[in-house]
Amino acid sequence: MEDSSYQIDLGNLLASDPNHHFQSIPSSREELVRQCLEKGTELVQAIADSLFSLPSTEDRDGPLVKLPPPITKLPREKHLPRPKPPTKWEAFAKMKGIKKRKKNKRVWDEQTSSWKRTHGYDRANDDRDIPILDAKSTDEVGEDPFAKRKAEKKEGVKKQEKNRLENLKRSAKTGYLPSHIQLAATSLPITGTKKEVPKKASKNELESVAGMVATSTASGGKFDKKLPGEKPPKHLGKHRKFLPIVEGKGIGSKEKQQTEKILNQLLSKSSHEILDVNKAVTMFNVKKEKQRKREKDANPGKSGKFKPNKKSFKKTPSKKKP
């Protein structure tokens, strides 16, 4: 039965009891969990009762209800998305009332008498496929029209790239930048003032990243093409060695040795009776030798084996005979 003291928000499937309080402080954590589960069960039952009280429609899977709009305002984890600023052309088109028209993706090609793409590779009416160009009255004598057209295309590409960077500068001022551009913000002049310029990566950091990328392939960069002046990676990764898939001579014995080695390691971790006496003696001797060497380096004056004999160079007075 639904309690009137409950606050139910069916839009968020949320229920709460603002008048609830513990009659006594729970003596243990188990008691606290038990009381919380009891109260949570009551709130879930109240939500279920409210759902079944809504008008429903029959469906193949059962009754369906339409939830009302939510009442409780939940905070957002992320900020609201910033509107993308219009580009220079978009602002000009809006001012002039120019509307974008949808163009056909395929047009008729007069050279091959077939339908081809409007733009891109193997497009229709491509200038590069025209063997003869009509002369214009503005053309200079002796000028190559094909070279001129190629230079004009390069200038158009440069102009387009300049406009793209200008649009990015304008977007950076409003706080909107695409994610792939934010990653490369250190190398593009789009960050505004000098205070906002992020710290550029140092030479060592770039070399370490380049080394990690070079060794990220399956062969560890062994068969990759080296760049001019590229240094070998400092830390080469160790690759695990597996037995060959195709069975051959000696594969069964190697697999048996590998299995026995793993079993011995597992048993040695759980048992204190397994002891390699020769290995223990060797480790003790090595430890003793290292300790003796450290003591010798700390007190070099105490060792008299290679200590030079100091002789006095003063002449002793000779005894005169009477």
Q: What is the pLDDT of residues 285-318, one digit of tens each?
A: 899 898 888 888 887 665 555 555 555 555 555 5
pLDDT in tens, 9-43: 999 899 988 888 888 888 888 888 888 898 899 99
Tell whether pTM > 0.95: no
In a domain, 127, yes or no: no
Does the residue 91 lie in any domain?
no
Asked if residue 224 belongs to a domain, the reply is no
35, part of any domain: yes
> Which neighbouring-strand residues pair with 56?
65
Query: Residue 53's domain spans which residues?
Result: 7-65
Q: Indicate the number of domains in the chain.
A: 1
pLDDT value at 236 more than 70 = no
The pLDDT tens digits for 119-178 are: 888 888 777 777 777 778 888 888 888 888 889 889 999 999 998 888 888 877 776 776
The per-residue pLDDT for range 248-261, each reduced to its tens digit, is 666 667 777 888 88
38 in a domain, yes or no? Answer: yes
Residue 246 lies in a domain: no
The CA-CA-CA angle for residues 51, 53, 58, to 5°, reads: 80
User: What does the alpha-carbon distance between residue 189 and residue 181 come to, in Å, rounded to a whole number?
Assistant: 11
pLDDT reading at 93 higher than 80? yes
Task: Please report which helix (H) or strand (E) contains residue 47, including its range.
Answer: helix 29-52
Can you read off the two tokens belonging to residue 127? 């200038």
Phi, psi dihedral angles at 54 (to 5 degrees): -80, 155
Residue 11 lies in a domain: yes
Q: What percentage of the chain carries pLDDT values higher than 90?
A: 8
Residue at 85 is within a domain: no
